[in-house]
């Protein structure tokens, strides 16, 4: 199923050496099929958990119909996502996309994730062969070095393969390539290497090139060997884990700092891998000098993967000391790096965690979660892991999957909040707001729903669902309801979709709401591309719809950009509305917004009005309409009819 959805799948049917095989693959998503063997699936998840977390990957856990209650155990074992039977192929593909988005977020976005994948591949055992250049075989630097060539000898004559594979291995390789040409997917083969080790190759098509991922099947790591990163000479991920385990075994609670370079893929893309490697080595030296420069020789300094490093502080170090060192590390990375003729500027983000238990994997996981938060929460550069953060992320992931199911089963409801004329107290319109009664969390509003959808890849789908449901409901109204104006919200992602204006106009026309429908767009959504936004809004207005800016006053709030946009209404953000009863300065700000709107002939709606005092002050400043709990919270259509009867 994964291959039919466009993914390259590498099968691992044995649990032995699973962590090593995952790291060698460079995969960003792990799928564990536990539908028939739950205990083995949980054991595999526990074995992979540390590596998945440390490498910013995702783990999708498949459970059977009768094992749905085991989801909590799967999350405890290290799963980041789950899918329970029965599910269709499309749902499986969607779950894979959710997992991929999760891995991208941990890596700092799609570009960073792609760059990290390239870094991982450069250090993995990978070969490439193109039918267009049949005489050449390309090896990753790691595979070249392991095969006895210099690290920079990555493009070699094809006949080298015959020497490396041997006669039996070459025959197996040709059969695997033939199977690949006929069947697609992944075609594995195995052979004995020159040193006698058993080696497997997972062969697949990738953008017109045949790619092989090499997996040593019986490789062992000497327990007494010092694990080192070959590029920097620092400890590697195994060494970091062993250092942590050693401190915990001594009864200590070490503190771990995980540092990630931001957008390092751009360095490799712009200057090439040799320059990138030189920069990585320079970064390692700067980190090492700061971490152990004061004589703290017992500290850990390691390169975990790609452009991520770790610094471990033994007792009696404190979180405050770790934060101070983290700040120094960020500042050191911000100083320019010189590699040959090139000057490169970098930025870094840092996550910090303190050991609270007896598990090295848990400490690595917590520090990685803090790093992911630092990447998401601009401009913060350093984040400290807090208790409950891991469970909150697990809850977020469950909510994303639950919301997907709620969309499929049409369980998102529409409530309506009245919009009231300030002068007459007459209800003249309503805003459509999404609500969902979650079976565990209770009622969730639009903010929580859209935040969950944005963390996944179905924000536009949720938005379209709410818009269509609201317009369909309003089209069926009669009596006093049929005279109300209806406002629906659209997101920046909506207006970026090709054909958005045409779709919205067609939906409004089919429902008979052209002269009653207002489209509300947030100020920040418009500012991303002002020129395109102006064209789109003009298209909506020329088709008969009204256009409002939502949450006005929290962003740019400029007369110049208001003049550039074809608008009918601005909606004052609730925070400004509620501040109007504060200081004279607050009232001046609101007055300025209202005066700006009036000078352009725009109507003004104040959001979040809760008290008579706020309404009185807004009226004195010339506000036209309001909505908020002073009139009513969002209500269903029956309660809306009752409010209309009282208003009239």
Residue-wise pLDDT for 383-412, tens only, equals: 898 765 555 666 667 777 788 888 888 999
Give bridge partners of residue 530 from the DSSP assignment.
none
Find the mean pLDDT for residues 532-545: 92
Give the residue from 104, 75, 67 showing the smallest Cα distance to 397.
Answer: 75
Q: Is the pLDDT of residue 109 over 50?
A: no
Q: Which residue has the tokens 């601009």?
A: 378
Distances in Å between the alpha carbon of 337 and those of 108, 316, 354, 427?
22, 33, 31, 63
Q: What is the pTM of this model?
A: 0.51
Give the number of domains in the chain. 4
Least confident of 110-119, 258-267, 607-616: 110-119
Q: Are residues 108 and 149 in the same domain?
A: no
| Same domain, residue pair 422 and 549 | yes
Query: Would residue 446 count as lying in a domain?
Result: no
Question: Which H or E run contains 138?
Answer: strand 136-139
| Higher-scoring residue by pLDDT: 77, 613 | 613
* Cα–Cα distance for residue pair 9/534, rounded to 1 Å: 44
Structure tokens at 65: 């119909």
Please check whether residues 274 and 369 belong to one and the same domain.
yes
In a domain, 601, yes or no: yes
Residues 211 and 326 in one domain: no
At residue 575, φ and ψ (nearest 5 deg) are: -65, -40
Give me the percent of the chain exceeding a pLDDT of 70: 81
Residues 166 and 190 in one domain: yes
One domain, residues 53 and 157: no
- pLDDT score at 113: 45
How much of the chain exceeds pLDDT 90, in percent?
A: 28
Residue 403 domain-assigned (yes or no): no
Whether residues 291 and 147 share a domain: the answer is no
Report the CATH number at residue 344. Answer: 3.30.70.270
**Which of 35-49, 164-178, 194-208, 316-330 comes out lowest in average pLDDT?**
194-208
Among the ranges 110-114, 126-130, 384-388, 541-545, which has the highest mean pLDDT value?
541-545
Return d(Cα 54, Cα 22) in angstroms, integer. 12
Q: Which two tokens stand for residue 384?
A: 């400290």
Q: Are 287 and 300 in contact (CB under 8 A)?
A: no
Structure tokens at 424: 């007459």
Among 364-373, 449-458, 502-511, name the one with the lowest average pLDDT: 449-458
Give yes or no for a contact between 424 and 418, defined as CB atoms under 8 angstroms apart.
Answer: no
Alpha helical stretches, state H, 444-514: 446-455, 459-475, 492-496, 500-511
- Give pLDDT tens digits for 579-609: 888 878 778 888 888 988 888 899 999 999 9
* Residue 110: band (very low, low, confident or very high) from pLDDT cuts 50, 70, 90: very low
Of residues 357 and 414, more confidently modeled: 414
User: Does 428 share its domain with 573?
Assistant: yes
Residues 144 and 48 in one domain: no
CATH at residue 50: 3.40.50.2300
Residue 202 to residue 177: CA distance in whole angstroms = 10
What interhelical angle do 237-249 and 360-376 show, nearest 10? 120
pLDDT band at 9, cuts 50/70/90?
Answer: low
Flag whether 643 is in a domain.
yes
Summarised one tens digit per residue, pLDDT across range 133-179 is: 776 788 877 777 777 776 555 677 767 777 778 777 888 888 888 88
Among the candidates 90, 112, 134, a domain finishes at: 112
481 and 624 fall within a common domain: yes
Look at residue 17 in the predicted model and tell me its pLDDT.
Answer: 63
Contacts of 448 (CB under 8 A, 6+ apart): 399
Whether residue 445 is contained in a domain is answered as no
More confident of the two residues 390 and 642: 642
Please report whether residue 7 resides in a domain: yes
Q: Work out the number of other CB atoms within 10 angstroms of the CB of residue 34.
A: 24
Whether 367 shows a pLDDT value over 70: the answer reads yes
Quick one: pLDDT at residue 26?
66
Instruction: Kindly state the tokens that stand for 48.
Output: 């992979």
Within a domain: 580: yes
Task: Tell whether 402 is covered by a domain.
Answer: no
Q: Are 66 and 183 part of one and the same domain?
A: no
In this prediction, residue 224 carries a pLDDT of 43
Residue 251 domain boundaries: 237-385
At 165, which CATH number? 3.30.450.20
Sheet holding 348-354, edge to edge: 300-305, 308-313, 255-261, 348-354, 382-384
The reported pLDDT for the residue numbered 313 is 92
Mean per-residue pLDDT of the chain = 81
Both 93 and 146 in one domain: the answer is no
User: Over the stretch 212-251, which tens digit does the pLDDT of each residue have?
Assistant: 888 766 544 434 444 577 788 888 888 888 888 888 888 8
Higher pLDDT, 553 or 153: 553
């Amino acid at each position: 199923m994964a291959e039919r959805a466009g993914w390259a799948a590498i099968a691992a049917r044995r649990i032995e050496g699973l962590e090593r095989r995952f790291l060698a693959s460079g995969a960003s998503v792990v799928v564990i099929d536990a539908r028939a063997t739950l205990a083995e699936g949980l054991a595999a998840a526990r074995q992979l958990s540390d590596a998945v977390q440390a490498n910013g990957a995702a783990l999708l856990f498949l459970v059977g119909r009768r094992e749905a209650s085991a989801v909590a155990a799967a999350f405890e074992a290290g799963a980041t996502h789950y899918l329970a039977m029965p599910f269709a192929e499309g749902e499986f593909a969607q779950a894979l996309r959710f997992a991929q988005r999760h891995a991208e977020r941990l890596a700092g976005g799609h570009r960073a994730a792609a760059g990290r994948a390239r870094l991982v591949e450069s250090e993995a055992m990978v070969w490439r062969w193109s039918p267009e250049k049949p005489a050449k075989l390309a090896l990753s630097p790691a595979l070249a070095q392991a095969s006895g060539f210099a690290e920079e000898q990555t493009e070699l004559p094809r006949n080298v393969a015959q020497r490396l594979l041997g006669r039996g291995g070459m025959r197996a390789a040709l059969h695997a390539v033939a199977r690949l040409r006929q069947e697609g997917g992944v075609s594995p083969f195995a052979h004995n290497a020159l040193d006698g080790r058993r080696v497997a190759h997972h062969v697949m098509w990738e953008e017109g090139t045949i790619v092989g991922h090499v997996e040593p099947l019986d490789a062992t790591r000497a327990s007494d060997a010092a694990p080192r990163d070959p590029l920097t000479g620092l400890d590697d991920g195994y060494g970091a884990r062993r250092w942590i385990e050693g401190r915990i075994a001594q009864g200590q609670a070490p503190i771990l700092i995980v540092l990630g370079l931001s957008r390092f893929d751009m360095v490799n893309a712009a200057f090439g891998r040799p320059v990138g490697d030189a920069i990585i080595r320079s970064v390692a030296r700067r980190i090492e000098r700061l971490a152990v420069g004061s004589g703290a020789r017992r500290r850990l300094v390691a390169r975990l993967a790609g452009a991520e490093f770790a610094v471990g502080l033994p007792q009696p170090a404190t979180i405050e000391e770790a934060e101070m060192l983290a700040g120094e590390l960020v500042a050191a990375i911000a100083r320019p790096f010189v590699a040959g003729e090139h000057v490169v500027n970098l930025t870094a983000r840092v996550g910090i965690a303190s050991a609270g238990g007896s598990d090295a994997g848990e400490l690595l996981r917590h520090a990685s979660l803090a790093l992911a938060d630092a990447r998401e929460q601009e401009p913060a550069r350093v984040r400290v892991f807090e208790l409950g953060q891991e469970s909150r992320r697990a809850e977020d992931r469950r909510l994303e999957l639950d919301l997907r199911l709620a969309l499929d089963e049409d369980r998102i409801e529409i409530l309506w909040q009245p919009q009231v004329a300030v002068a007459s107290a007459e209800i003249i319109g309503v805003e459509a707001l999404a609500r969902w009664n979650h079976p565990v969390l209770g009622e969730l509003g639009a903010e929580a729903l859209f935040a969950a959808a944005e963390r996944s890849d179905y924000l536009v789908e949720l938005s379209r669902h709410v818009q269509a449901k609201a317009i369909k409901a309003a089209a069926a109204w009669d009596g006093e309801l049929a005279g109300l104006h209806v406002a629906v919200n659209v997101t920046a992602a909506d207006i970026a979709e090709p054909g958005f204006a045409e779709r919205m106009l067609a939906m409004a026309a089919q429902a008979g709401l052209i002269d009653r429908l207002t489209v509300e767009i947030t100020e920040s959504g418009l500012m991303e591309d002002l020129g395109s936004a102006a064209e789109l809004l003009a298209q909506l207005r020329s088709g008969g719809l009204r256009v409002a800016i939502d949450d006005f006053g929290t962003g740019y709030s400029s007369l110049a950009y208001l003049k550039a946009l074809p608008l009918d209404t601005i909606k004052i953000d609730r925070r400004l509305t509620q501040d109007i009863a504060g200081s004279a300065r607050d009232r001046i700000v609101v007055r300025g917004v209202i005066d700006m709107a009036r000078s352009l002939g725009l109507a003004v709606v104040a959001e979040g009005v809760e008290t008579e005092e706020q309404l009185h002050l807004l009226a004195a400043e010339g506000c036209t309409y309001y909505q908020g709990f002073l009139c009513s919270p969002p209500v269903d259509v029956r309660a809306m009819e009752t409010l209309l009867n009282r208003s009239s």
